[in-house]
Structure 1
Amino acid sequence: MEMVPLTTQKKIEETVKGILREADMDLMTEFKLRISASSILGFDLSGANHKKLVRDVLEAFLLSNPSDDETVAPVDPNPPPTTTASAGSGEDERFICKLSEKRNATVQKYRGQPFLSLGESSKEDGKPFRGVHLSANQWSVIKKNFSAIEEAIKQSESKSKSESKLNGDTSKHVEDNTSFSFSIIETSRFDGRGYLRWASQMELFLKQLNLSYVLSKPCPVTNTSQPDPAGKKWLKDDYICYTHLLNSLSDHLHRQYSKKFKHAKELWEELKWVYQCDESNSKRSQVRKYIEFQMVEDRPVLDQVQDFNKIADSIVSAGMFLDETFHVSTIISKFPPSWRGFSTRLMEEEFLPVWMLMERVKAEEEEVLRNGPQRVTYRPATGSCQMERMPPSIGRGWKRKEPERDGRVSIVCDNCGRRGHLAKNCWGKTVEERASGKPNRVTFSSTSPVGSETQATTKNDSRTIS
């Protein structure tokens, strides 16, 4: 260990003493003192020789300002070797009684003044004393107020017992109910499958905690305005039971039921009605899942469509008929809100089987991932009068797509004058007019070459129609 130079040592001592004169000794520690001195001096004092020097200066400062009113007796840097003596031995430290395994009550004499020390007497292992030192004046004040101290202790204990009884000591409640010869039953998290196994586990678990009665008995009701202890206990147990039921559900079911119900019995009956019926009647449960299925934004739509198709397959495998057009329309109606424009365009398709819908959904998702949701475009087949979403570079809005002039025959509706559909399928007519089957006009592209025979036939047909 290198010695500290004399000039540096004096500089450190003066700095430490200056800090101690201005510091609050109740909050000051050796570590804080060393850090403050380091910041003032501009060099580190974490070395062993610097620590010892700062500690010696601190002890010397404390010894230079003794006071009878201090609650902690000053520590002598070079205390005379003393040993713990028995009562009446006349030594500097006199043993009074043993407070606990490590704490004793002793009377110590320092600079001719006696101190009552309550704490760990650790002179044998060399560690500093941990406890409190009371001077003769302080002990005299405490002795005069013994009755007031005892009364304050009794009031504090009474208040603690009343608060524990009013609020309910849950930990003691659990300890009383778990002091059996067997441990608490471990329950699994319920994810919608295996309801009967999960329900039996929860019933045993709640019986061990004496909480199962809230699932069958209602809350006691009294006509008096005074708070009913039985009603308070039922409400407390109902809340604990409700919390246990929610915590045993999966994340999806927890989000689904935590906002719908506030009492344990309501939640228990709902789970029983939904999932016990699922296991006892597979047909109705699959239909219920088919109807209640809803797509969300945070999952790929294609994966959700595949899950929905699995439910439809289970319905068909159960022996029930499911029309393909109805199924496709149901899928489109369950798209998330951000797919509303895409759903509108799909609903205008006249021919859209399931396999084609899956391809459209896959292409739409790839387009969304590539260009973002605002650049999604959908181009219908040539000759269709369906709507097309314009890209952002052209302008926002909808435009009607005209049939491409590639030389193919285009059908014009005689009812509304639009191309791309028959008059009998025109939505601008009534059912009776649509059933009459009024013929449609047939036009050709002006740029396509047509033979003379075809032109003559077309002219004759036009005169007939007119």
Structure 2
Amino acid sequence: MESAQDSAIKVMNQDFVKLDKLDGTGTNFNRWKDKLMFFPIALKVAYILNLNLPKILAPVEGESEEVTEQRQKREEDEIICRGHILNTLSDSYYDMFQEIRNPREIWAAIEREYTTQKQGTDKFLIKKYFEFKLVDSFSLMDQIHNLQVIVSKLKDYGVEVSESFQVGAIIAKLPPLWNDYQKKLLHTSETLTLSSVLKHLRIEEGPEYFKN
């Protein structure tokens, strides 16, 4: 019969559980967390990361063979989960958490670290998004791409910017030389999606980097 360790090695060798290392910046935390769970779910050891899971009871004299086997499986599952979490951390993060033996404590400590990093960062990005200005002296589409990068970073921090808001913000941020086209977009009867407004602006800007 295949052991849990053998199953773990098989799962770890599959592409779908190969993760980008959690790098300590917090920007890839949500993506890392979602992908991390593929492994324990596949091995049916995800219960180990339940923060309310009772401690392993110490062995007592006369306990049944079944209880002993349950304890051994629990200890084995904890080792597997701990090793998997540590294996997905960058070197600097690994050094921070490798002394912690309990995988639930590692899990909780990483979430606390992320929460600490997150505080203020999302507000900074929101401020940066609102203050972002499109100017006439650079490619409009390149600038909008940079604006969308901020949206992507906000999403990583759990801040969703709706598509309709993004469309409105892009139109509102169009630089002075685009005033006439801005009015055209504001008064169009077409229901503008993010994809369609970007298509309109790309066509209007043309192949040149600068608007004449």
TM-score, normalisation: structure 1: 0.22
**Highest RCO, 1 vs 2 (Cα 8 Å, sep ≥ 6):** 2
Q: Select the structure that is richer in strand.
A: 1
Question: Between Structure 1 and Structure 2, which shows a larger proportion of helix residues?
Answer: 2
